[in-house]
Homo-oligomer: A and B are copies of this chain.
Amino acid sequence: MIRVAVNGYGTIGKRVADAVLKQPDMRLVGITKMTPNFESIEAMRRGIKIYTSKENMSLFRSKGVEIHGEVEELFRDADVIVDATPNGVGAKYKQLYQSLGKKAVFQGGEKADVAQVSFSALCNFNEALGKDTARVVSCNTTGILRVICTSMHIGEIEKVRGTIVRRAADLKEVKKGPINSIVADPASVPSHHAVDVKTVLKGLDIVTAAVVAPTNLMHLHTLFVTMKEPPSKDKLMEEFANTSRIVLIRDISSTAELFEAARDYGRPRADMPEVMVFADSISVNSKEITFMYAVHQESIVVPENIDAIRALNGVNSSMEITNQTLGILKGVFP
């Protein structure tokens, strides 16, 4: 049993905690939480042990939230800590994890040098095997890497160019914008996504441009992939159809419909941890492959976090059990 602590119980942390609870070889020793909001009540209802700072304990208890101890006690009980704290905070915790001799999984909001390896299960699982620290790349980068590493099965890639249309905020957020604007983010090229992809695929020629749109459901990417030799569309479709964590969508062309489909399907929180590729958008023209897909920012990195936990613990096979326990799809949806 791998004992897992989740540090931070926000958008990513609560999903990783739920996913850990479903793994036969893992035990969730607890989570940390700094504010006693509805999410901590929900964690308690699920029987999850909550840890906080010494100063916050009385505040939590005054709200009726049971506290099991201080943050550091939790970390001591764990083999691996999944750091799901806000961007940049993980780097501050790193020393504590190290001084306690604990392995740690960081998120893509941290700089690449926070960990020994930047991680994408479909691209470089083995690189993380037995390491002390791994950083699961961000949601958009995870999406790009899944489709790129899958495309690599049918031939060598010459270059990748793409545009990332980002959602402005997550569903629960009420203070972020824009509400009526398209924002070039940044108004320079490349966006950090191309740079982040290269932390995993070191030599790849990739340039991305990113804009933000006033919506909160999913990101949407358009990718232009140039191969070294003219690829077969049939082979590409076959690879996409047979790769877990990639789903082909038909008769749906928007993130709103995808969200509704996930709600109808009965997904917890209407999550879509798969890359949702618009099947009709896949086109091959000489050496060029073009396609469009949606990325669910809140959940896409969850299976990768589970795989990273196993990889750090030297378990050299993870994806299949992660896919099974989390009900990850492949092929055509819905």
Asked if A185 lies at the interface with its beta carbon under 8 angstroms from chain B, I say yes
Contact between B182 and A215, CB atoms less than 8 A apart: yes
Contact between B182 and A213, CB atoms less than 8 A apart: yes
For A280, the closest partner residue in chain B by CB is: B188
* Residues of B close to A183: CB separation below 8 A: 253-256
A285 CB to nearest chain B CB (Å): 7
Q: How many of these chains are in the complex?
A: 2
Q: In chain A, residues 209-235, which have Cβ atoms closer than 8 Å to a Cβ of chain B?
A: 209, 211, 213-220, 222, 224
Contact between A165 and B189, CB atoms less than 8 A apart: no
Q: Provide the A157-179 mask, 1 if CB < 8 A to any CB of B, else 0.
A: 00001110101000000000010
Asked if A184 lies at the interface with its beta carbon under 8 angstroms from chain B, I say yes
Asked if A292 lies at the interface with its beta carbon under 8 angstroms from chain B, I say yes
Q: Provide the A183-215 mask, 1 if CB < 8 A to any CB of B, else 0.
A: 111111100000000000000000101010111
* Residues of B close to A290: CB separation below 8 A: 189, 207, 209
Asked if A150 lies at the interface with its beta carbon under 8 angstroms from chain B, I say no
A215 to B254, CA, bound (A): 15
Q: How many residues of A contact B (CB 8 A)?
A: 45
Contact between A215 and B180, CB atoms less than 8 A apart: yes
* Residues of B close to A333: CB separation below 8 A: none
Contact between A207 and B224, CB atoms less than 8 A apart: yes
A332 CB to nearest chain B CB (Å): 14
Contact between B292 and A254, CB atoms less than 8 A apart: no
* Residues of B close to A178: CB separation below 8 A: 215, 254, 256
Contact between B165 and A292, CB atoms less than 8 A apart: no
* Residues of B close to A219: CB separation below 8 A: 182
Contact between B209 and A294, CB atoms less than 8 A apart: no
Asked if A283 lies at the interface with its beta carbon under 8 angstroms from chain B, I say yes
A257 to B188, CA, bound (A): 16
Q: Given A186-B253, A189-B291, A292-B187, do A180 and B216 touch, yes or no (CB 8 Å)?
A: yes
Asked if A181 lies at the interface with its beta carbon under 8 angstroms from chain B, I say yes
Asked if A281 lies at the interface with its beta carbon under 8 angstroms from chain B, I say yes
For A171, the closest partner residue in chain B by CB is: B180
Q: Given A165-B211, A165-B213, A224-B224, do A253 and B184 touch, yes or no (CB 8 Å)?
A: yes
* Residues of B close to A165: CB separation below 8 A: 163, 165, 182, 211, 213
A172 CB to nearest chain B CB (Å): 14
Contact between B217 and A211, CB atoms less than 8 A apart: no
For A223, the closest partner residue in chain B by CB is: B209
A108 CB to nearest chain B CB (Å): 21
Q: A188: which of B214, B215, B224, B281 is its contact (CB, 8 Å)? A: B281
Q: A187: which of B163, B207, B253 is its contact (CB, 8 Å)? A: B253
A220 CB to nearest chain B CB (Å): 4
A-B contact pairs, 9 of them (CB 8 A): A161-B161, A163-B165, A165-B213, A182-B215, A183-B256, A184-B278, A184-B281, A209-B292, A211-B220
